[in-house]
Chain A
Amino acid sequence: KNEVEQSPQNLTAQEGEFITINCSYSVGISALHWLQQHPGGGIVSLFMLSSGKKKHGRLIATINIQEKHSSLHITASHPRDSAVYICAVRYSGGSNYKLTFGKGTLLTVNP
């Protein structure tokens, strides 16, 4: 079964802390997405990557294709970063258009 595992499930941090959320998957992928979901449901795409590293503001996403692992880092965390962060992959092969999601990591950043 193709699975996407995220850790931790829940994460509480103090403002200013460095945050890391991990994602691992089981088979070859064509792309990995990091998404942010706020209460109420709306999902925003943060990164899409197939190799290496991407940076946007205080957010950094890395992927290691050989180890089938990705990390999302947040530097200098802020209460407004509180949200659910979801890892999703697009598998290689026939159905490479749909996303398979992890369960998400609930991040709470306290002031």
Chain B
Amino acid sequence: DTGVSQDPRHKITKRGQNVTFRCDPISEHNRLYWYRQTLGQGPEFLTYFQNEAQLEKSRLLSDRFSAERPKGSFSTLEIQRTEQGDSAMYLCASSPAGQGYSYEQYFGPGTRLTVT
């Protein structure tokens, strides 16, 4: 396995359209995270899955955002009725199960969304 992959790498969409991003974690990792990074800022936590269960969702994730991980493997992040403020890099990371403090997160290359 070569690491976390994300698709697409770049997405340009018009305001009001829906977009969906996919993340494929490292195969044996049961924890999956989505983060969002705007220009000049560090990433911010969006949501977290352990297997197929979505265990936490940030207040940053408005009702227009939904994330799924139906079989505990890949995950999708959908944004409905996109707004210009949604323009950002969307990062996915995964980590193996283990003690809470002892594991690293492995990041994908990100999906850069531009809303025009």
Contacts and interface: CB of A to CB of B under 8 A. Distances in A.
Interface stretch (A65-73, A74-82, A100-108): A100-108
A31 to B, nearest CB: 5
A40 interface: yes
Contacts of B42: 4, 86, 88, 101-104
B41 A103 contact: yes
Contacts of A102: 42
Size class of the contact patch on chain A: 20 to 34
A97 to B, nearest CB: 6
Given A96-B100, A101-B43, A102-B42, A41 B109 contact: yes
A48 B112 CA distance: 26
Given A41-B112, A86-B43, 17 more contacts: A31-B101, A35-B107, A41-B37, A42-B110, A43-B107, A45-B106, A48-B104, A97-B33, A97-B100, A99-B43, A99-B45, A100-B45, A101-B43, A102-B42, A103-B40, A103-B41, A103-B42
